[in-house]
Amino acid sequence: MTKEIVKKLHPQEKKILLALKKIDSGNAKKISKSSHLSEDSIHKAAHWAELKGLVKHKKTVEKRIMLTEEGKKYLKEGLPEKKLVEKVYEKPLPLSDIKIPNMNIALAWAKKMGWVSFHEGKIEATPEGKKALKEQTPIEKLMKTGSGTEHELKDLEKRNLAKIKEIKTITYKLTGKGEDIVPYISKTGEELGQLTVQDIKSGKWKKKKLRAYDVSTPVPTIYPAKLHPYTKFLNNMKKKLITLGFQEMKGPFVELAFWNFDALFMPQDHPARGIHDIYELKNPTTGTISNKRVMKRVEMTHKNGWITGSKGWGNWDQKNATGLVLRSQTTAVSARTLASGIKPPEKFFTISRNFRPDVIDAKHLIEFNHCEGIVIAERLTFRHLLGYLEKFASMVGIERVRFKPGYFPFTEPSVEMFGNHPKLGWIELGGAGMFRPEVTRPLGVDYPVLAWGLGIDRLAMISLGLDDIRKLFSSDLDFLRESKML
Amino acid sequence: MPTIELDLIDLKRMLEVPDEELEELLFLNKVEVEEIGMTDAKVEITPDRPDMFSVEGIVRQLKSWLLKTKGLPEYYVAKPSIELKKSHLTVRPCIACAYVSNLDFTDEAIKSFMQLEEQIDKTIGKNREKSSIGVHDISQVKPPFTYKEVSTNTKFVPLGYTKEMTIKEILKDHPKGKEYGHLASGEKVPIIVDKEGTIISFPPITNAKITQVKPGTRELFIDITGTDENSVNNSLNILVTALADRGGRIEAVRIGKNITPNLQPKVMKFDLDYARQVLGLNEDNNKMKLLLERMNYGFDIENKKLFIPAYRSDILHPIDVVEDIAIAYGYNNFVTEFPMLPFIGSRHPLEEFSDNVKLLIVGLGFQEVLNFTLISKDRQFKKMNQTARGFVEIKNPVSSEYDICRTSLLPSLIGNLSANKHRRYPQKIFEVGDAVVLDSQSETKTRNSKKLCVVDAHSNANLAEIISIINSITSNLGIKTRVKNHDNPSFIKGRSGVVLLGNSNKEIGHFGEINPKVLENHDLNTPVAALELDLDLIFEKFKK
């Protein structure tokens, strides 16, 4: 045990311990003489040794008298009140006949001490005054030797003859444990701290001892650069979807109302197209629908159902479809993908941003991610859709789900999925459905299309343990630096 | 989604159901319970089922689903005794009416009816534009009624007032006039008058005081006016069937040659195989018919004829009926199946490339940050010492903090530094993300632009360091680039440049030491060097 302690001692600690053994106890100055270390190093190393229980420190406060210029002068020339007594020692004199410097001070103190008295306009020395002249007064003693009562010290300060300075000294002494280990400290050889290129090249390290370090000594914290926690969560989801055979699709943030609404068979007076639910643009305001064939079919489907077997909505105006909006649902990306001439069977997904007017708070963002996808193949059924949903739930660690009939303008049947979370109970995981024929046929797809969306922001909050949705996009460096790897 | 207050005592009086089963029962029938207490519940109903926006409608659905009643509900409509004459109208030309008697209007019934009225006006009526409801006690007036247009100087006593007001005054001062005035902005407005010319209604704004419904009213005259025939009829059908479910006697109203309401079921050709195919069910015809009946449909197997109750306004296509079969079957009773089809998944190539770039930058010791695409014009341009141009601007921003789409990422990241002013330095951050830029060639006149922005803030941040990073990125991507001095107001004059592709003059990015003026604008006092690269262009080159 003792050897272990010795091994981990810093060379400076060793020097101090050895010095203290020699001098018994002492302040840094005293130790410095014996150890040849700077006073700063001594305090630092003594602190380390004290933490190990080898050294004990004692703080003492010493009052020291520092004479002012005036004090020094009086000490040399004598106090003014004594000079006054000297002048009137032989016979009383009128005030005007006495010529000494600092007359006022002399008079005031001489009177206060009772060394002089006034008699018929003359000043005469009292017996005490005469006696005092022959002796060293306490204040003179204090100025010469530095020793005196508190009261005398105060007088001295009051007369501005001296300043009292408190001097703190720390003295160190070995503890019993310290005493015990000193014999084990070898005095020979210099120890190496940081191994240098020169030490290695020159072979110097062979002759020196490499000092052992205490690995439990605190060190500075460093932070690795990382991906954002939310990115990591989303990457993980993407990886899982790719494993399930989904290809990633992409679409623009600024979207034609056509792809965001009309192609999804949302009637032109649908409330989601209102100013409170969709960001419209001031500049640029309108775009052009380049796929005229699809546009014509969508138009007919809205007006009278076209060949889809639907009644349609009765009207459609191209003007409302060419308006530009900020995409409010990634389903717009699905619509674009379906219209792009795909060859089923196919599976696509996207995890991307959407925009909706709202006031930002702990539960709402104006910009958020949706995770959604489509599966296009012959003979797909509603049972397959539910099968996919169960798979997604288990992908996010939820094994128990239940389905609620739901409503989305572009799917029928529609379903909302709830999952049983071990802590939160039943939570809504997402919505899904089979695209309506009024959606698929105009886009040129004659197969069933399963479409699903997961509430990815909500799932991320649960996974990352956040209770405020704004934190998903946090750029607070402390939060990011402290965030755990997923 | 429409939310209504459900009186549970009222509901249980009409349908016996154990407390513990009610919530689940509602859940399986498209009704989500938001809050539930001993006597009341707040529930959310999907907007496709306006017929269920009342206790009566919900009970009708549940009773049938529980097989307490099944199939098409029959509603008796008595022959008309009241007539409404319709003159030629240039506004709100559609009207349908009904007369309902034998009402026992309890407090619960009134509450449910008023709630239904309000929700129907909001959803089917599109806030009274397509259709709006008027309900009258006509004991003080005399049929026949006339629906006609009048000038805005016409006077009557509106609901809630005791003195006569002109239409103009009502539009200006009446609460409903203020709320819906935009729907009656023309010179002529529609009104309904009685035999003696007494105005009973000014749709879609307000009724007259004289026909105000009072406690104890046992007969109602209902008018629905609007711009859309279907909305008008659907609203009326939902209202009168709800009243009939409470024992009301529906009597038709003659409107010219027509008689309303028409509660005859709508007929649709329906193929059970289609439903079986979509749902993946193998139930036989009789079982399928029972499922339809559980949702209040009638079905003729032989002729494949489906009878749809008159209050269902949402059936556009047989697929809507297929969902109802699934609801009748029970969503949680389906045997789920995961199709094992051979698919190869993949990332989008640009996204995969972006991911690789991110890892490269993390390797250089930079922490990833995420920012919104939306930003303020001020932060994007002014605070960066730039002139605003070439950006997508939102018409209806909620906050001026987010009124444009960012055209570059640098302002967001300088903003991040500002927010992290009191965090430990060095601060090395980056973002790979989308900006939105104008593009006249695109059908959306804009396009997403994938960018990389790297920002380095510490006491010795400088140009050399940032150029080293650019070189490191491009050489790791195997792309030849060169840099050239180029002044940019966001950077210190003489300490910024552009990155050019190969030997061309194609700019793929810019970099420099941030202008102290910009630092000052962001309340920063640490030097910052930064770069921003266009990943779309780099990816194009990378692919080759």
Which CATH number does the domain housing residue B126 bear? 3.50.40.10
Residues A373 and A274 in one domain: yes
Average pLDDT taken over every residue of chain B: 95
A158 in B contact zone (CB under 8 Å): no
Residues B280 and B167 in one domain: no
Hey, how many other C-beta atoms are within 10 angstroms of the C-beta on B221? 27
Mutation site, A349, A404, A479, interface B, largest B CB count within 10 A? A404
What is the domain extent for residue B518?
A: 349-543
* Structural domain includes residue B107: yes
Structure confidence at residue B342 (pLDDT): 80
Residues A122 and A174 in one domain: no
Structure confidence at residue A187 (pLDDT): 56
Structure confidence at residue A199 (pLDDT): 84
Residues B324 and B375 in one domain: no
Residues A184 and A125 in one domain: no
Domain tally, chain B: 4
Residues A21 and A148 in one domain: no
Across the interface, whether the CB atoms of B368 and A326 are under 8 A apart is answered: no
List for chain B the helix, strand, coil content (%; round to 5). 35, 30, 40
Across the interface, whether the CB atoms of A245 and B343 are under 8 A apart is answered: yes
Query: What b/e sequence results for A241-280 when a residue is b if at least 16 CB atoms lie within 10 Å of its CB, and e otherwise?
Result: bbebbbbbbbbbbbbbbbbbbbbbbbbbebebbeeeebbb
Residues A10 and A153 in one domain: no
Q: Which residues pair with B143 in a beta bridge?
A: none
Residues B158 and B83 in one domain: yes
Chain B neighbors of A324, CB-CB under 8 A:
444-446
Which CATH number does the domain housing residue B21 bear? 3.30.56.10
Q: Which of B260, B287, B313 is the last residue of a domain?
A: B260
Mutation site, B32, B370, B376, B380, interface A, largest A CB count within 10 A? B370
* Structural domain includes residue A358: yes
Q: Tell me how close the Cα of B383 comes to any Cα of chain A, in angstroms.
A: 19
Identify the band that residue B303 occupies on the pLDDT scale cut at 50, 70 and 90. very high
Q: Does residue A217 carry a pLDDT above 80?
A: no
What is the domain extent for residue A46?
A: 2-64+167-190
Structure confidence at residue A38 (pLDDT): 84
Q: Which of B13, B31, B65 is the last residue of a domain?
A: B65
Identify the band that residue A297 occupies on the pLDDT scale cut at 50, 70 and 90. very high
CA B321 to chain centre: 23
* Structural domain includes residue A225: no
* Structural domain includes residue B245: yes
Residues B247 and B271 in one domain: no
Q: Yes or no: say if A50 and A82 are a contact pair by the CB < 8 Å rule.
A: no
User: Which residues, numbered 218 to 247 in chain A, qualify as contacts with chain B under a Cβ-Cβ cut-off of 8 Å?
Assistant: 223, 225-228, 230-231, 235, 238, 241-247
A479 CB-contact burial (10 Å; exposed 0-12 / middle 13-18 / buried 19+): middle
Which CATH number does the domain housing residue B484 bear? 3.30.930.10
Facing residue for A405 by CB, picked from B30, B316, B369? B30
Alpha carbons B98 and B121: distance in angstroms, whole number: 17
Residues A357 and A410 in one domain: yes
User: Which residues, numbered 339 to 358 in chain B, qualify as contacts with chain A under a Cβ-Cβ cut-off of 8 Å?
Assistant: 339, 341-348, 350-351, 355, 358
Facing residue for A475 by CB, picked from B341, B394, B419? B419
Across the interface, whether the CB atoms of B317 and A310 are under 8 A apart is answered: yes
Identify the band that residue A123 occupies on the pLDDT scale cut at 50, 70 and 90. confident
Q: Does residue B135 carry a pLDDT above 80?
A: yes
Residues B41 and B14 in one domain: yes
Phi-psi region of A306 (alpha: psi -120 to 50; beta: other; left: phi over 0): left
Residues B51 and B25 in one domain: yes
Which CATH number does the domain housing residue A13 bear? 1.10.10.10
Residues B144 and B14 in one domain: no
Identify the band that residue A486 occupies on the pLDDT scale cut at 50, 70 and 90. low
Instruction: Report the predicted TM-score, pTM, of the whole model to 2 decimal places.
Output: 0.81
Chain B neighbors of A294, CB-CB under 8 A:
none
Q: What is the arithmetic mean of pLDDT over A283-295? A: 96
ipTM associated with this complex:
0.93
Q: Which of B333, B358, B374 is the last residue of a domain?
A: B333
> Which one, of A122, A135, A90, A84, lies nearest residue A106 by Cα?
A84
Q: Does residue A131 carry a pLDDT above 90?
A: no
**Chain A, nearest residue to B440 by Cα:** A287
Alpha carbons A9 and B433: distance in angstroms, whole number: 53
Across the interface, whether the CB atoms of B334 and A382 are under 8 A apart is answered: yes
Across the interface, whether the CB atoms of A243 and B30 are under 8 A apart is answered: no
Structure confidence at residue B488 (pLDDT): 97
pLDDT by residue (tens digit) across A137-155? 877 877 877 777 777 778 7
Residues A255 and A362 in one domain: yes
Structure confidence at residue A450 (pLDDT): 98
* Structural domain includes residue B340: no
A360 in B contact zone (CB under 8 Å): yes
Structure confidence at residue A190 (pLDDT): 63
Alpha carbons B513 and B517: distance in angstroms, whole number: 11
**Chain B, nearest residue to A346 by Cα:** B343
* Structural domain includes residue B516: yes
Alpha carbons B111 and B53: distance in angstroms, whole number: 12
Lowest-pLDDT choice from A446-455, B207-216, B258-267: B207-216
Across the interface, whether the CB atoms of B46 and A405 are under 8 A apart is answered: yes
Chain B neighbors of A229, CB-CB under 8 A:
none
Alpha carbons A406 and A431: distance in angstroms, whole number: 8
Q: Which residues pair with B94 in a beta bridge?
A: B226
Residues A306 and A203 in one domain: no
Domain tally, chain A: 4
Across the interface, whether the CB atoms of A228 and B395 are under 8 A apart is answered: no
Percentage of chain A surpassing pLDDT 70? 98
What is the DSSP secondary-structure string of B158-195?
BTT-SS-EEHHHHHHHSHHHHHHGGGG-SSEEEEEE-T
User: Which residues, numbered 508 to 537 in chain B, qualify as contacts with chain A under a Cβ-Cβ cut-off of 8 Å?
Assistant: none
B446 in A contact zone (CB under 8 Å): yes
Q: Does residue A208 carry a pLDDT above 80?
A: no
Residues A153 and A282 in one domain: no
Give the A:B interface size as CB pairs under 8 Å: 258
Residues B448 and B371 in one domain: yes
Residues B220 and B359 in one domain: no
Which CATH number does the domain housing residue A127 bear? 1.10.10
- Residue B411: cis peptide before it, omega within 30 degrees of 0: no
Structure confidence at residue B79 (pLDDT): 96
pLDDT by residue (tens digit) across B494-506? 999 999 998 889 9
What is the DSSP secondary-structure string of B435-453?
EEEE-TTSTTSEEEEEEEE
B393 in A contact zone (CB under 8 Å): yes
Across the interface, whether the CB atoms of A225 and B405 are under 8 A apart is answered: no
Percentage of chain B surpassing pLDDT 70? 100
Q: Which amino acid appears at position B511 of this protein?
A: F
Residues A328 and A307 in one domain: yes
Residues A121 and A250 in one domain: no
* Structural domain includes residue B55: yes
Q: How many residues does chain A have?
A: 486
Q: Yes or no: say if B322 and B310 are a contact pair by the CB < 8 Å rule.
A: no
Q: Yes or no: say if A268 and A302 are a contact pair by the CB < 8 Å rule.
A: yes
Identify the band that residue B277 occupies on the pLDDT scale cut at 50, 70 and 90. very high
Structure confidence at residue B343 (pLDDT): 87
Average pLDDT taken over every residue of chain A: 89
Question: Which tokens go with B41?
Answer: 């519940």
**Chain B, nearest residue to A327 by Cα:** B444
Q: What is the helix (H) or strand (E) element at residue A181, kind and residue range?
A: helix A176-181
pLDDT by residue (tens digit) across B378-400? 999 999 999 999 999 999 999 99
**Chain A, nearest residue to B27 by Cα:** A404
Residues B295 and B436 in one domain: no
Across the interface, whether the CB atoms of B331 and A355 are under 8 A apart is answered: no
SS3 A281: strand
| Of A220 and A353, more confident | A353
Residues A39 and A183 in one domain: yes
Residues B109 and B203 in one domain: yes
* Structural domain includes residue B412: yes
Mutation site, B234, B316, B428, interface A, largest A CB count within 10 A? B316
* Structural domain includes residue B341: no
Residues B289 and B357 in one domain: no
Structure confidence at residue A72 (pLDDT): 84
* Structural domain includes residue A224: no
Alpha carbons B284 and B278: distance in angstroms, whole number: 15
Q: What is the arithmetic mean of pLDDT over B321-341? A: 94
Across the interface, whether the CB atoms of B419 and A367 are under 8 A apart is answered: no
Q: Does residue A92 carry a pLDDT above 80?
A: yes
What is the DSSP secondary-structure string of B473-534?
HHHHTT--EEEEE---TTEEEEEEEEEEETTS--EEEEEEEEPHHHHHHTT--S-EEEEEEE
